[in-house]
Amino acid sequence: MIKNSDSKLKSKLNLETGSLTIVGTGIQLVSHLTLGAKAWIEQADKVLYALADPVTAKWLKELNATAEPLPYNRNNQWRRQTYQEMTEKILTEVRKGLNVCAVFYGHPGVFANPVQAAIKQAHREGFRAQMLPGISAEDCLFADLGVDPGRNGCQSFEATDFLIRRRKFDPTSPLILWQIAMVGNLGFYKPEEQFRPLTILTEVLKTHYGGDHEVIVYEAAVYYPVCKPVIQRIPLSKLPQSSVTEVSTLYIPPQGLAPVDKEMMARLGMSFVKEATGELRPDKYFFRHI
């Protein structure tokens, strides 16, 4: 962290006096917070936060007495307006010449518009700004569902974006859709309005997988081990009737294996093995000697 007294160094780097470091708390209360993130919180001149639980907020205030919450949705205002207010609050403190640490839930760069906006604006104004990674809900999903993205790849989209942009995807690779309860919603979460959007999402997915394909409605465990992760295994056709909240994620397992391109394997000098199912899979550990 650059201290206010290091004026010569700042002048050499052409930096303004304030700085911004953005960290993530991870998903499970304070247990996912890294030692590096904790150190930045403790040393900051000012701490601002946007968190999902009061326990972590209380803990932050014990680490640094300057900690205060960022502005959140009031009177059902648009999320974009809330994000703009958060960004401006962060930059206001940095412009005072303070070393600011902004703390966000999960990974600070995932579904956190104010983070990206604040860092870009800080850089434009000549301030030092950085983001430290945190454990995301996707990391928890990989662990809880036993998903290895290195095996069949992994596709990840925000649910509304997935629909309105007609995203291309491969059904033989796992598909993750975020914020399924917020499809088409630019404001507050309204559970009474989610059935129709989920029905539309289901209709689109059924054209690729069929209604009987098993999918998983997933929620990471925040209060682990007191509470376990939510893992609802259901047929795709039952998605509109499932129990979904604003933090629910949809995981769709792959439908079969992608075919092997024998010509490409030959060009790469690779061999293949036939599995018990009859499927051909590249033997990653065997290369034909040339």
The CATH number of 138-252 is 3.30.950.10
Give domain 7-135's CATH number out of 3.90.1150.10, 3.40.1010.10, 3.40.50.410, 1.10.287.3510.
3.40.1010.10
Catalytic residue among 105, 209, 218, 251: 105
The tens digit of pLDDT for each residue in 111-147 reads 888 999 999 999 999 999 999 999 999 999 999 999 9
Question: Could you give the CA distance from residue 255 to residue 96 in angstroms, rounded to a whole number?
Answer: 54
pLDDT at residue 282 in the model: 64
The tens digit of pLDDT for each residue in 16-57 reads 689 999 999 999 878 899 999 999 999 999 999 999 888 899
The tens digit of pLDDT for each residue in 167-195 reads 999 999 999 999 999 998 866 666 666 77
Greater pLDDT, 267 or 42: 42
Q: Is the pLDDT of residue 289 over 70?
A: no
Q: At what angle do helices 35-43 and 54-63 cross, to 10 degrees?
A: 60
The tens digit of pLDDT for each residue in 56-87 reads 999 999 999 999 999 876 656 677 888 899 99
Catalytic residue among 72, 74, 79, 285: 79
pTM above the 0.85 mark? no
Cβ count within 10 A of residue 112 = 21
Using pLDDT thresholds of 50, 70 and 90, give the confidence band for residue 287.
Answer: very low
pLDDT at residue 226 in the model: 66
Q: DSSP of the chain, one letter per residue?
A: ---TT-HHHHHHHT--S-EEEEEE-BSSTTTT--HHHHHHHHH-SEEEEE-S-HHHHHHHHHH-TT-EEPP---TT--HHHHHHHHHHHHHHHHHTT-EEEEEESBSTTSS-HHHHHHHHHHHHTT-EEEE-----HHHHHHHHHT--HHHH--EEEEHHHHHHTT----TTS-EEEE-GGGTT-SSS--GGG-HHHHHHHHHHHHHHH-TTSEEEEEE--SSTTTSPPEEEEEEGGGGGGS---TT-EEEE---S-PPP-HHHHHHTTEEEEE-TTS-EEEEEEEE---
Using alpha carbons, list the distances in angstroms from residue 222 to 30, 53, 247: 10, 9, 11
Catalytic residue among 49, 83, 218, 251: 83
Q: Is the pLDDT of residue 89 over 70?
A: yes
CA-wise closest residue to 253 among 228, 231, 230, 280: 231
Active site residue 83: yes
Using pLDDT thresholds of 50, 70 and 90, give the confidence band for residue 236.
Answer: very high
Phi, psi of 74, deg, nearest 5: -130, 135
Domain boundaries, the chain: 7-135, 138-252
pLDDT at residue 14 in the model: 44
pLDDT at residue 218 in the model: 98
Q: Is the pLDDT of residue 157 over 80?
A: yes
Question: Could you give the CA distance from residue 30 to residue 151 in angstroms, rounded to a whole number?
Answer: 31
The tens digit of pLDDT for each residue in 212-231 reads 999 999 999 987 666 899 99
Active site residue 233: no
Active site residue 224: no
Cis peptide bond upstream of 225, omega within 30: yes
